[in-house]
């Protein structure tokens, strides 16, 4: 068991869970956190307008007083708006987004603390994020392993590449998250989290660790199950991600793909600009936009 006396009263980590009608799975998060070998954390839950019994369930856990829990309920606005509120509520030095359908290993909080202790003061000040892998309930890796045990990466394009290799998970400095809140577009309920990770990578390094701490279970009602429809319904957020990817020192092929996808969603958000007439990448994006509409129509 971790010696709690060597830590200050301020939470080392704010474990943050955004939830929407997930009372049936939220208990996995609770039991994972109650089982942690290190208890120097707070659990902040933002309920994004659930219509189930989430409020009563969380109150029962608060009454049990096994771990520190704070709960807020707001009008439904999408995960990114819940994260914004969670960041504002957070008291921990680090911020861990722990989805409402996930679990973690019993040493997760302790391992993140230990990883911080392995860094020099200069290294710690230079990073924004510590990123680890995800595993299944049986311990199988979700996605490829890293080719190294751990590595500090400063290149924004390399950070993007490593993050893109399946389900990565990790902690981010709360103060930096607070300085980089998600934009909110009227009528849209989704902005990809990669927008914030890309912005952080322009100024800070990430410590990538080849260790699985998150226990990931894909669910049919998860965001990834209907991502095309979600992005089509939130085109401003999708377009912004691809636009800002062009700042990440990408190779030519990746830049072309980012540009095409930018036009794909920008044309849906704001219409087709006359300035695109002589740009073949713009028209490829428009064709993809039309293909999206056909795919969604067929899937109805």
Question: DSSP alpha helices (H): ranges in the chain?
Answer: 23-34, 54-64, 79-89, 108-117, 121-126, 156-163, 174-178, 194-201, 227-233, 235-245, 252-270, 280-298
Domain count, the chain: 2
Q: Are residues 13 and 147 in the same domain?
A: yes
Locate tokens 């200069």: which residue? 122
Question: In the prediction, which pLDDT does 221 show?
Answer: 57
Show which of 217, 235, 268 is a domain's final residue. 217
Q: Are residues 120 and 99 in the same domain?
A: yes
242 and 149 in a single domain? The answer is: no
Q: Give me the pLDDT at residue 2, please.
A: 34
Q: How sure is the predictor about 1, in pLDDT bands with cuts at 50, 70 and 90?
A: very low
- Whether residues 41 and 180 share a domain: the answer is yes
pTM confidence score = 0.92
Helix (H, G, I), strand (E, B) or coil at 251: coil
Residues 94 and 155 in one domain: yes
Together in a domain, 240 and 198: no
- Tell me the per-residue pLDDT of 147-186, one tens digit each, with 9 for 90 and over: 899 999 999 999 999 998 868 999 999 999 999 999 999 9
Using the 3D structure, point to which of 217, 250, 284 is the last residue of a domain. 217
95: phi then psi, degrees, rounded to nearest 5: -125, 120
Q: What is residue 217's predicted lDDT score, i.e. its pLDDT?
A: 78
Q: In terms of residue numbers, what domain contains 33?
A: 4-217
Indicate whether 206 and 240 sit together in one domain. Answer: no
Q: Which two tokens stand for residue 89?
A: 């509520």
Q: pLDDT tens digits, residue range 182-229?
A: 999 999 999 999 999 999 999 999 999 999 999 987 666 555 557 899
Among the three residues 166, 186, 217, which one is the final residue of a domain in this structure?
217
3-state secondary structure at position 4: helix
Q: Does residue 134 surpass a pLDDT of 80?
A: yes
- Rounded to whole angstroms, how far apart are CA atoms 1 and 159? 33
Are 183 and 268 in the same domain? no
Q: Which CATH number does the domain housing residue 190 bear?
A: 3.90.550.10
Give the span between the Cα atoms of 124 and 111, in whole angstroms. Answer: 15
Which of 76, 23, 75, 26 minimizes the C-alpha distance to 53? 23
Nearest to residue 167, comparing CAs of 207, 105, 229, 213?
213
Q: How far apart are CA 272 and CA 282, in angstroms?
A: 9
Can you spell out the DSSP letters for 199-250? Answer: HHHTT-EEEEEEEEEEE----TTSGGGGHHHHHHH-HHHHHHHHHHHTTS--
DSSP state of 166: S
* pLDDT tier at 300, thresholds 50, 70, 90: low
């Amino acid at each position: 068991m971790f010696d709690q006396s060597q830590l200050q009263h301020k939470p080392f980590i704010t474990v943050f869970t955004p939830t929407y009608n997930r009372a049936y799975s939220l208990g996995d998060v609770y039991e994972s956190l109650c089982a942690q070998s290190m208890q120097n954390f707070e659990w902040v839950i933002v309920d994004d307008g659930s219509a189930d019994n989430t409020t009563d369930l969380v109150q029962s856990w608060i009454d049990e007083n096994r771990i520190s829990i704070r709960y807020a309920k707001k009008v439904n606005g999408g995960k990114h708006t819940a994260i914004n509120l969670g960041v504002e509520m957070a008291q921990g030095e680090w911020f861990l987004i722990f989805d409402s359908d996930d679990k973690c290993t019993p040493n997760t909080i302790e391992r993140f603390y230990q990883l911080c202790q392995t860094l020099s003061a200069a290294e710690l000040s230079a990073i924004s994020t510590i990123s680890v892998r995800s595993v299944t309930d049986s311990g199988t890796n979700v996605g490829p392993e890293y080719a190294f045990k751990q590595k500090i990466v400063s290149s924004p394009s390399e950070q993007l590449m490593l993050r893109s290799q399946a389900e990565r998970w990790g902690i981010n400095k709360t103060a930096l998250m607070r300085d980089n809140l998600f934009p909110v577009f009227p009528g849209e309920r989704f902005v990809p989290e990669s927008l914030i990770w890309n912005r952080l990578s322009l100024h800070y390094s990430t410590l990538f660790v080849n260790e699985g701490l998150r226990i990931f279970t894909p669910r049919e009602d998860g965001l990834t199950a209907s991502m095309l429809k979600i992005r089509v319904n939130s085109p401003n957020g999708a377009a912004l991600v691809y636009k800002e990817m062009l700042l990440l020192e990408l190779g030519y092929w990746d830049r072309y793909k980012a540009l095409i996808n930018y036009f794909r969603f920008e044309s849906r958000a704001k219409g087709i600009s006359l300035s695109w007439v002589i740009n073949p990448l713009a028209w490829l994006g428009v064709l993809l936009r039309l293909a999206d509409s056909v795919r969604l129509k067929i899937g109805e």
